[in-house]
Chains A and B, each alone.
Chain A
Amino acid sequence: MTAPVSDRGRKAARLGLGLLLLAMALVAIALLSLTTGARAIPAETVWGALTAYDPASTEHRIIQDLRLPRTIVGLLVGAALGLAGAVLQGATRNPLADPSILGINAGAALAVVLGVAFFGMTQLSTYVWLAFIGAGAAMLVVYAVASLGREGATPVKLALAGAAITAVLQSIINAILLTSPRTLDEVRFWQVGSLAGRSIDIVFQVAPFLALGAVLALATARLLDGLSMGDDVARALGQRIGLSRGLAGLAAVILAGAATAAAGPIAFVGLTVPHVARAVTGPGYRWILPYSMVMAPILLLGADVVGRVISPPGEVQVGIVTAFIGAPFFIALVRRRKLAAL
């Protein structure tokens, strides 16, 4: 019985090669993100700015101070959102799970609004902890509301509970913003979801969380594969269901919270990418997770580049571009199939 083994080996080789190609595409899009903008900067100059930085050159300063942090934030946030979406979809066995659909973004946003309005926080860097707390609390409540009733948290109920909690949180946010113009002015640029104007400090601030979340998420791959066989089978195989879901949920909250803290709420990246990844790799989170992690920043940076050139001289924030790519995808997904649990 060597055939299945070599089959598996061939599949692993094929998927590994695919991952390598995607990584190269990611490098290419990162380079595009460095060269594209209000002022087009040729690749040689970019290379010069990275290797032999000359503070006297405006173009070098643009690269070092603006585009490099922006690109790195895009890479990290994209990877985090892709992983968070894949882990959430696996842990809840819900094809529609996404940080924005499940109310995680709204929870982070409310926490940030509270911090700005009542504790005078104005630094992007102080938003991180707030966004975490908000994201985690919102996810717990949404899952609790969706689990009501006998059939448990079905995709439709989870999405509805997320939308309902989002509406509640949004109305609280609106009430605060209405009474505090200062907060409104501060938050409206964060709330749209953007990679622009992020300094390299933000990267250092969220990177440890993203690393922790990514390790945790990738480590849950086996557990997610177990869960995907259904709770009963997984339990029969000796898996501790609650612990698995808890670990996966923790990973998702850390990743989504840190990503939201860095870039603001960005919808639909976490939703769309794991589906594309799954279409390439087939079932099995050992491959879905790394594919999502590499594909999502390609989408996010690509959307950011598109947003930079689509309406000169201004920019369209990346959160808007991803919403306009993601929402039609979401609708197509809903139309296409019966939404059987994953």
Chain B
Amino acid sequence: MSIALDTSRISRARSRAAARRHAVAGGLAAALVLGFAAALYLGDYPVPLDGVIRSLFSPLTGLTDRGIDFIVLQVRLPRAILALLSGAAFALAGIIFQTLLRNPLASPDIIGIAHGASAAAVFSIIILGWSGLSVSLGAFGGAVLTALAIYLLAWRNGVTAYRVVLIGIGMAAMLAAIISYLFTRARLNEVQQAMAWLVGSLNASRPGDIVVLGGAMLVLVPAMIALLRGLDAMELGDDTARALGARVEINRLGLMLVAVGFAAFATAAVGPVGFVAFVSGPLARALLKGAGRGFLHASLVGALVMLVSDLLAQHLLPNTQLPVGVVTGACGALFLLWLLMASGRSGRVN
């Protein structure tokens, strides 16, 4: 019996995992490109494919066609970009929370952060009479304040995952009660306006949203990557991680801040679109089959889910534009069923 490790076997397994990571990332990227092209091509006003391409390059070539350019560059392109950015941001928020709290169900739209954004937005629509950008600001503030409150309430000689989850759920129930109360205090048209915001939609996407969300992600993604280095140690448990020299609490706080940032900026841009944060991480990990943590892959999955859901929402029913949140909500239901059946076979949750 030899003690020496069979290094060739380990390196073979490593390269197989790397190959899987690259293949999954490549497949997801290809699907994203296809989805993006479809988002630019499909619509009520038919634009031929070469028209789309000519329009995309018109700033370079100078060949303009005002009608087609307006539809492609002013309507469809911003919408598709916003779908990509917000989907990726939701997914990253979700996978960070799911990883830190060690539970596939613990995403920000379940543990109260989305509820904080929603309650603040409904308050600003119904009581303050705000609309547009100021509602987004209110939602951002609501998400950040709620996250802060959950963290502080869960703090007791440190923060444990189950306290964050349960206190978040308690906060969510209270915030949902506030929303129901505000609904009884308003005129029906205001309630409808608030309801439309609550479901989340890309219908009213503004160019400013892309700039703000894109700018935020330019800061948040590098911060996340830097903080993720400490995560490997953290996943071994707090004590082990501390023994290995990781500054657990600071690292975790930093990652949570980044995740709250992702969730808050994305919610401010498109509303609390449900379940993108919830499904992306587990789907990415299912695709990877243990070949990596899947943060990059989760962001690709999130962007894809958002893009495809929006396409379905726009074109599923003739003459009706559903808000994207309706489709992602249905995705969430399907995903839970899948989780139920998959773990019924394997006896595991994740």
Contact = CB atoms under 8 A, between A and B. Distances in A.
Interface of A: 96, 100-101, 144-145, 148-150, 155-157, 159-165, 167-168, 170-172, 174-175, 177-178, 181, 184-185, 188-189, 191-193, 267-268, 316-317, 319-320, 323-324, 326-327, 330-331, 334-335, 339
A168 B332 contact: yes
A324 B180 CA distance: 13
B332 A167 contact: yes
B195 A172 contact: no
Contact of B181 (A96, A163, A320, A339): A320
A167 B167 contact: no
Interface stretch (B52-60, B67-75, B137-145, B169-177): B169-177
Contact of A192 (B180, B326, B330): B180
Q: Which of A159, A164, A174, A316 has the most CB of B within 10 A?
A: A164
Contact residue range for chain B? 35 or more
B110 A178 contact: no
Given A167-B109, A330-B173, A339-B162, 17 more contacts: A145-B339, A156-B103, A160-B103, A160-B106, A160-B110, A165-B336, A168-B333, A171-B329, A171-B330, A174-B199, A174-B325, A174-B329, A188-B180, A188-B184, A267-B177, A319-B180, A324-B174
Interface of B: 103, 105-106, 109-111, 153-154, 156, 162-163, 165-167, 169-174, 176-178, 180-181, 183-184, 188, 191-192, 195-196, 198-199, 274-275, 278, 322-323, 325-326, 328-330, 332-333, 336, 339-340, 343-344, 347-349
B167 A192 contact: no
Contacts of B177: 192-193, 267, 319-320, 323-324, 327
Contact of B183 (A171, A192, A331, A334): A192
B56 to A, nearest CB: 33
B165 A167 contact: no
Contact of B192 (A100, A149, A181, A331): A181
Contacts of A149: 343, 347-349
Contacts of A163: 105, 110-111, 169, 172
A335 B103 contact: no
Given A164-B110, A164-B336, A101 B181 contact: no
Contacts of A100: 173
Contact of B105 (A164, A267, A326): A164
A127 B190 CA distance: 26
A335 B278 CA distance: 26
22 contacts: A101-B169, A145-B336, A156-B103, A157-B349, A160-B110, A164-B105, A164-B278, A164-B336, A168-B275, A171-B275, A171-B330, A174-B329, A178-B323, A185-B188, A188-B184, A192-B181, A268-B173, A316-B181, A317-B181, A327-B173, A327-B177, A335-B156
